[in-house]
């Protein structure tokens, strides 16, 4: 009678130790990423509402330009973790090196597109005449840091797959501190305004890329993995990431639609939306820490042909996601009147953001489930299903969001549509996780 429950408790404790060991450092690294935008928003916000609105527009475009290639981290994590589970560290690191070369090639291509088309991109999002010049300035300068951020994504995937989330934490913290110091110095000390904020971020991003490359190169030499570009390997990395690219493009389209709708509601609304989106990204990355653990753990279990361990780990991580979402939602409700003045002194912007933040708070338990299951399926290499599920989500969200300016409700209604979007994602991911068809074993999928 007493022995039967002991095994589930022991199993939960084992998975808890694994999750904590990977998720806690990943949490620190992940929240440092949106803190870049939050720091920029706090510094630029005190220059004026038009500057903050311009930063909001440019940040969405830049985040889109980088995040569409997030498969450089996600697909690499899953592939490297599978090889770790299979016991082949040399092949694991070689997989990551191919991803880094792919990142450099993609980064160069993105710069070539963004620099000449910056005004058209800003206009496409719907920036006002007052915000557009600031958005173009920030976008053109910050585009120079895109290759660095893609290298960071690929290198982070290598280390996560190797079950190392501590090194990304150290690099991210150093990058955030450098970014904040450079922004203050260049925006106010050098009186460069919003351009100073962009240059500070670019310098910090390239510093982070250099740190990651140093770590990966040392690991490659230790395990005898080649550092030379391999055409077949680079092509294979691109093909493995293609479904995740579709998934990410669909997600970025959702965020772009939301920002475009907010921009058409007025400068105060898009400025408030920028603050809320920064917070939402912070909360999302915090929840994604468990998903990062999921990618590494699930990939390793499946690489070692342990479907039972993969299933148990999935169940436990979902429980963690729900509990974390509840806690984060409560924190948003309690703290929302306190942190808004940190980002703007405009009372209209604060009043616009306050009720919309309630929608963000209420959606956090749903977000917890979504991010965890997303990570589990990525760790399993289930990219094609994730791509299809996100296309369904985009189709459900777009018409609802685009009707907000017509039907009314303002920014609060827009974030209600965002909550609907997360609910659709939860349902599609839950159905897949329940089916078990994602559990494909072996060192390669």
3-state secondary structure at position 162: coil
What one-character-per-residue DSSP string does 70-102 give? THHHHHHHHHHHHHHHTT-HHHHHHHHHHHHHH
* Backbone φ and ψ of 126, nearest 5°: 100, 30
d(CA 26, CA 410): 35
The dihedral formed by the CA atoms of 62, 63, 66 and 70, expressed in degrees to the nearest 10: -170
Q: Is pLDDT at 418 greater than 90 in this prediction?
A: yes
Query: What are the structure tokens assigned to 71, written together?
Result: 């498969």
DSSP letter for 439, please: -
d(CA 292, CA 298): 10
Kindly state the average pLDDT of the residues 176-180: 88
**399: number of Cβ within 10 Å:** 9
Residues 6 or more apart whose CB falls under 8 angstroms from that of 95 comprise 76, 79, 80, 83, 158, 161, 233, 237
Q: What is the reported pLDDT for 34?
A: 63
Kindly state the average pLDDT of the residues 84-91: 84
Average pLDDT, the chain: 86
Q: What is the reported pLDDT for 33?
A: 66
Q: Is pLDDT at 3 greater than 60 in this prediction?
A: no
pLDDT band at 229 (very low <50, low <70, confident <90, very high): confident
Kindly state the average pLDDT of the residues 221-247: 87
Residues 6 or more apart whose CB falls under 8 angstroms from that of 430 comprise 369, 373
Quick: pLDDT tens for 22-67.
888 887 777 666 677 777 778 887 777 788 888 888 887 887 778 7
Kindly state the average pLDDT of the residues 364-389: 94
Q: How far is CA 318 from the centre of its chain?
A: 19
Alpha carbon distance, N-terminus to C-terminus of the chain:
41
* Backbone φ and ψ of 401, nearest 5°: -65, -40
Kindly state the average pLDDT of the residues 73-87: 87
d(CA 24, CA 290): 8
Q: Is pLDDT at 1 greater than 50 in this prediction?
A: no
d(CA 270, CA 56): 7
What one-character-per-residue DSSP string does 104-134 give? HHHHHHHHHHHHHHHHHHHHHHT--TTTHHH
Query: What are the structure tokens assigned to 33, written together?
Result: 């990423």
Q: Is pLDDT at 286 greater than 60 in this prediction?
A: yes
**423: number of Cβ within 10 Å:** 15
Whole-structure pTM value: 0.80
d(CA 382, CA 243): 9
pLDDT band at 167 (very low <50, low <70, confident <90, very high): very high
Q: How far is CA 280 from the centre of its chain?
A: 11
d(CA 147, CA 103): 7
d(CA 206, CA 57): 23
Contact assessment for residue 183 and residue 127, using Cβ atoms and an 8 Å cutoff: no
d(CA 7, CA 281): 37
Q: Return the percentage of the chain with pLDDT > 90, whole number.
A: 33
């Amino acid at each position: 009678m007493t022995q039967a429950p002991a095994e589930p408790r022991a199993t939960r404790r084992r998975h808890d130790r694994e999750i904590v060991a990977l998720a806690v450092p990943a949490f620190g690294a992940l929240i440092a990423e949106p803190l870049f935008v939050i720091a920029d928003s706090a510094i630029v916000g005190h220059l004026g509402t038009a500057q903050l609105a311009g930063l909001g527009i440019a940040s969405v475009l830049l985040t889109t330009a980088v995040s569409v290639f997030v498969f450089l981290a996600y697909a690499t994590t899953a592939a490297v973790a599978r090889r770790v589970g299979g016991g082949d560290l040399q092949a694991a690191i070689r997989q990551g090196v191919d991803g880094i070369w792919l990142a450099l090639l993609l980064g160069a291509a993105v710069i070539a597109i963004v620099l000449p088309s910056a005004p058209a991109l800003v206009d496409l999002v719907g920036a006002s005449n007052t915000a557009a010049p600031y958005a173009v300035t920030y976008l053109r300068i910050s585009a120079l840091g895109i290759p660095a951020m893609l290298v960071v994504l690929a290198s982070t995937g290598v280390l996560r797959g190797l079950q190392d989330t501590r090194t990304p934490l150290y690099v991210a913290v150093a990058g955030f501190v450098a970014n904040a110091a450079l922004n203050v110095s260049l925006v106010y000390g050098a009186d460069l305004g919003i351009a100073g904020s962009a240059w500070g971020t670019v310098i910090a991003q390239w510093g982070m890329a250099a740190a990651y490359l140093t770590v990966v190169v040392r690991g490659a030499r230790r395990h005898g993995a080649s550092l030379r570009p391999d055409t077949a390997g680079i092509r294979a990395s691109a093909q493995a990431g293609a479904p995740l690219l579709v998934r990410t493009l669909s997600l970025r389209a959702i965020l772009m639609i939301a920002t475009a709708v907010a921009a058409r509601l007025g400068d105060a609304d898009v400025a408030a939306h920028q603050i809320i989106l920064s917070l939402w990204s912070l909360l999302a990355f915090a929840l994604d820490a468990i998903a990062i653990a999921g990618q590494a753990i699930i990939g390793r279990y499946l690489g070692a042909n342990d479907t039972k361990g993969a299933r148990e780990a999935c169940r436990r991580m979902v429980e963690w996601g729900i509990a974390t979402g509840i806690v984060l939602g409560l924190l948003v409700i309690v703290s929302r009147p306190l942190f808004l003045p940190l980002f703007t002194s405009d009372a209209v912007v604060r009043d616009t953001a306050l009720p919309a933040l309630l929608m963000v708070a209420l959606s956090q338990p749903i977000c917890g489930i979504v991010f965890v299951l997303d990570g589990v399926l990525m760790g399993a290499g289930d990219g094609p299903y994730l791509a299809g599920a996100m296309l369904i989500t985009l189709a459900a969200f777009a018409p609802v969001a685009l009707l907000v300016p017509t039907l009314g409700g303002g920014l609060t209604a827009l974030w209600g549509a965002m909550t609907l979007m997360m609910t659709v994602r939860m349902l599609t991911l839950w159905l897949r996780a329940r089916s078990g068809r994602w559990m494909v074993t072996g060192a390669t999928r």
